[in-house]
């Protein structure tokens, strides 16, 4: 199968539209990463819990405000699982995350109990 629009944009007559090509093109367009860079980032799993399931590229939305669109590539922070990516997105600032930590620590049992 050939995608003529992609072929025209790439400057060649025909480009095979394989799943691998589609993924590489999507990653390049959305995150400005090569497929090798993308796979290397995913290799370590979620940077919070280490899971390899449902991984997302985390980037600073304050930099690239076009929600759902491509990033500039400079604001990519790392890889998070879907759960931690959604959780991280709920906070606007580091101060809010610190406040959550202080709040949660009030309810943690102390050692020796």
Q: Is 85 part of a structural domain of the chain?
A: yes
Q: According to the model, what pLDDT value does residue 3 have?
A: 47
Q: Is 112 part of a structural domain of the chain?
A: no
Q: Is 111 part of a structural domain of the chain?
A: no
Would the CA dihedral through 72, 77, 79, 82 be positive or negative?
negative
Q: According to the model, what pLDDT value does residue 65 have?
A: 67
Q: According to the model, what pLDDT value does residue 109 have?
A: 86
Written as one string, the DSSP assignment of 73-99 is: SSSEEEEEEHHHHHHHHT-SSHHHHHH
Q: Which residues of the chain have pLDDT under 70?
A: 1-16, 65-67, 111-113
pLDDT in tens, 77-106: 999 999 999 999 898 889 999 999 999 999
> Residue 52 and residue 44: Cα distance in Å, rounded?
8
Q: Is 113 part of a structural domain of the chain?
A: no
Q: Which domain holds residue 18?
A: 4-105
Q: Is 68 part of a structural domain of the chain?
A: yes
């Amino acid at each position: 199968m050939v995608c003529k629009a992609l072929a025209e944009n790439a400057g060649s007559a025909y480009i095979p539209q394989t799943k691998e090509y589609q993924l590489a093109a999507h990653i390049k367009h959305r995150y400005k990463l090569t497929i090798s860079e993308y796979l290397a980032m995913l290799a370590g799993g979620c940077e919070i819990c280490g899971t390899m399931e449902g991984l997302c590229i985390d980037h600073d939305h304050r930099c690239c405000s076009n929600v759902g669109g491509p990033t500039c590539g400079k604001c990519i922070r790392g890889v998070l699982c879907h759960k931690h990516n959604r959780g991280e997105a709920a906070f606007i600032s580091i101060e809010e995350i610190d406040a959550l930590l202080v709040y949660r620590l009030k309810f943690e049992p102390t050692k020796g109990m």
